[in-house]
Each structure stands twice: as C-alpha cells, then as structure tokens.
C-alpha cells in the first residue's frame, strides 16, 4: 500500500479529526520517545513531510488513540502504531543491503504478472525491506534495500543529488560530440535532462561501451538519453549508487553493507 499517495477525502479528514477530538483514551505521548513522524518515515511510510500530513489528516493511531498533534513522541519498541487501520512494524533495528539485480527482475516485492521480483531475494529476511529507487525490468546492477525509510526517502530525494554510475553497451558508433550534448542537456518528453559525466570506454564496429554518471531519478532516464543521441542501449548495468560500489559482487547476490558504507550513506544525506 502506498500510504504517501493515499490521502482521504476532505469529508473523511474532517470526520477523523472530529473523532480525535471526542476520544476518551489517554494521550500516548511519551516525553522520552521519538517524534511520531520520524518513526513513520523510518518505517517506510513516506517522507517526514508526508507523514506529518497523515497525522494532521487524522489517519494515525497510537495505542488506539488518534494522533493529530505533530509534537507527539512515542516509544516505537513498546507502542502500537496503526495507519489507515493497518498495523505498522516499527522495529528500530536498521539493516542495509546491496543487491546485484539480474535483468528481467521487477523492482517490486511482488508482481501481478508473475514475473521474477525482489521477493525472491529477500523472502528469508524477517525485516520489512523496501528498495531505494528502482531499476527497470531489463537493467542490471546495484540496488539498495533497507528497512530505514528515512534514509531511503532522502537517497531518492532530488535535494541530495546522489550520483549513480552506469555502464552501458550501446549501438555504435558514438559521435565525438555526444558527451558534450549529454552534459549540456537533452530535451525529452518530460523536460530537459543532462548527465554529470560521460565517458567512452571502448568502441568496436557497430557497438560501444560507455560510462554515464547522473543524479536524476527519472524513469528509464539513461536509456532515454542515450537513445535520443542515436545510441540505443543494448545492455545497462548500474555499478555505483552514491558511495556504494557493486565491485565484484555476483549477479543475484545480496550482501549487507559494511558499517563504514552505512556511515558514508548517512553523510551523503545529512543524517
């Protein structure tokens, strides 16, 4: 369920708030606790701002008490959090993984069409994991997974401009001015997009290997940019996400990030 996008109607919001004002259960505020919107963001319910709006809309209950005050603090290890009548896991133990996603795997925890998806790689984990951004069905490479919703939201937020590096095998030849054009910006259907860096790695008759670095999170952006300059992608692999590198990690394998890697990610998003 996408809690961030599922805002109730004005009539329902007014009814929720009226119910909150009439409730008789005790206030769940815990002075030594964590701000409710942070607990919600950490649980992957959306950005902190989106979680604040959920609270103001009367969609959040703690220990059976509808909470509409943004200053509320709770103990996520002891108190029961419910959003839109759905219990939310608020475990405070955070985990961070790097997956080398194969091609023809959907970047979701399930697929109505029965295609391979991320559940195949995380089904043995007890945590409620979610992916940081996504890779399209055909794209391979580095995908981060975590139960730290706050970090996941920041890593995908345009404000932090997290760079991603890709290796792309494309149809050649690659014109000499392609790098300059991509850095300057290409007009696509959804506006102008540009890369941070472009490098020709190797060139053979009819095919070339290029490296692209960019921080845009637009859908299929690397494929669309390279197609727009006349070099459609034959194979695409993400090799880096911010400070995290794929390196020699085997395809289909998931590994837990080292403490220093987690620290680098936190620095990148001001945590």
- The pLDDT value recorded for residue 196 is 96
Give percent above pLDDT 90 in the chain: 57
Question: Is 239 found in the same domain as 146?
Answer: yes
Question: Is 220 found in the same domain as 111?
Answer: yes
Instruction: Provide the H-helix boundaries in 8-99.
Output: 10-22, 36-42, 48-56
Instruction: Confirm whether 136 is a catalytic residue.
Output: yes
Q: What is the pLDDT of residues 157-210, one digit of tens each?
A: 888 999 999 999 999 899 999 999 999 999 999 999 999 999 999 999 999 999
Nearest CA to 215 among 171, 259, 157? 157
Upper half-sphere CA count for residue 152 (Cβ side, 13 Å): 26
Band (pLDDT 50/70/90 cuts) for residue 92 is low
Question: Is 140 found in the same domain as 39?
Answer: no
Question: Is 115 found in the same domain as 51?
Answer: no
What does DSSP say about strands 60-62 and 65-66: parallel, antiparallel, or unpaired? antiparallel
Cα separation, 40 vs 245, in Å, equals 29
Question: Is 117 found in the same domain as 66?
Answer: no
Point out the domain boundary residue: 87, 105, 125: 87
Cis peptide before 173 (omega within 30 of 0): yes
Could you tell me if residue 66 is inside a domain?
A: yes
Point out the domain boundary residue: 39, 69, 87: 87
Question: Is 124 found in the same domain as 78?
Answer: no
pLDDT at 1 over 70: no
Question: Is 154 found in the same domain as 54?
Answer: no
Please count the structural domains in the chain.
Answer: 2
Q: Share the mean pLDDT of the chain.
A: 90
Domain around 134: 96-268
Question: Is 195 found in the same domain as 106?
Answer: yes
Could you tell me if residue 160 is inside a domain?
A: yes
Region of poorest pLDDT, from 90-99, 119-128, 246-255: 90-99
Q: What is the mean pLDDT of residues 127-151?
A: 91
pLDDT at 123 over 80: yes
Question: Is 100 found in the same domain as 75?
Answer: no
pLDDT at 148 over 70: yes
- The pLDDT value recorded for residue 136 is 94
Q: What is the pLDDT of residues 241-255, one digit of tens each?
A: 999 999 899 999 999
pTM over 0.75: no
Question: Is 57 found in the same domain as 38?
Answer: yes
Could you tell me if residue 2 is inside a domain?
A: no
- The pLDDT value recorded for residue 150 is 84
Question: Is 124 found in the same domain as 247?
Answer: yes
Nearest CA to 81 among 154, 13, 129, 30? 30
Question: Is 100 found in the same domain as 83?
Answer: no
Point out the domain boundary residue: 52, 87, 122: 87
The tokens for 58 are 């009367």
The active-site residue, picked from 63, 84, 136, 196, is: 136
Tell me, what CATH number does 43's domain have? Answer: 3.10.290.10
Nearest CA to 115 among 100, 103, 127, 128? 103
């Amino acid at each position: 369920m996408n809690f961030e996008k599922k805002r109730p109607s004005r009539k329902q919001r007014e009814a929720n708030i009226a119910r909150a004002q009439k409730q008789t259960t005790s206030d769940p505020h815990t002075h030594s606790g964590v701000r409710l919107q942070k607990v919600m963001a950490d649980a992957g319910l959306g950005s902190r701002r989106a979680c604040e709006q959920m609270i103001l809309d009367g969609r959040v209950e703690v220990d059976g008490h509808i909470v509409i005050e943004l200053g509320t603090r709770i103990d996520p290890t002891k108190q029961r959090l419910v959003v839109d009548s759905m219990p939310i896991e608020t475990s405070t133990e955070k985990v961070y993984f790097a997956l080398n996603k194969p091609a023809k795997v959907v970047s979701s925890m399930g697929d109505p069409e029965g295609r391979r998806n991320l559940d195949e790689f995380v089904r043995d984990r007890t945590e409620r994991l979610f992916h940081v951004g996504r890779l399209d069905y055909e794209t391979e490479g580095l995908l981060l997974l975590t139960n730290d919703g706050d970090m996941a939201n920041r890593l995908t937020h345009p404000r932090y401009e997290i760079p991603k590096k890709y290796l792309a095998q494309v149809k050649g030849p690659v014109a000499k001015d392609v790098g300059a054009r991509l850095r300057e910006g290409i007009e696509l259907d959804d506006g102008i997009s540009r890369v941070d860096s472009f490098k020709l790695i190797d060139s053979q008759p009819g095919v070339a290997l290029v490296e692209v670095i960019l921080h845009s999170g637009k859908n299929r952006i690397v494929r669309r940019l390279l197609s727009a300059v006349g070099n459609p992608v034959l194979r695409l692999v993400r090799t880096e996400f911010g400070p995290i590198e794929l390196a020699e990690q085997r395809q289909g394998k998931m590994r837990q990030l080292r403490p220093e890697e987690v620290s680098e990610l936190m620095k990148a998003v001001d945590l």
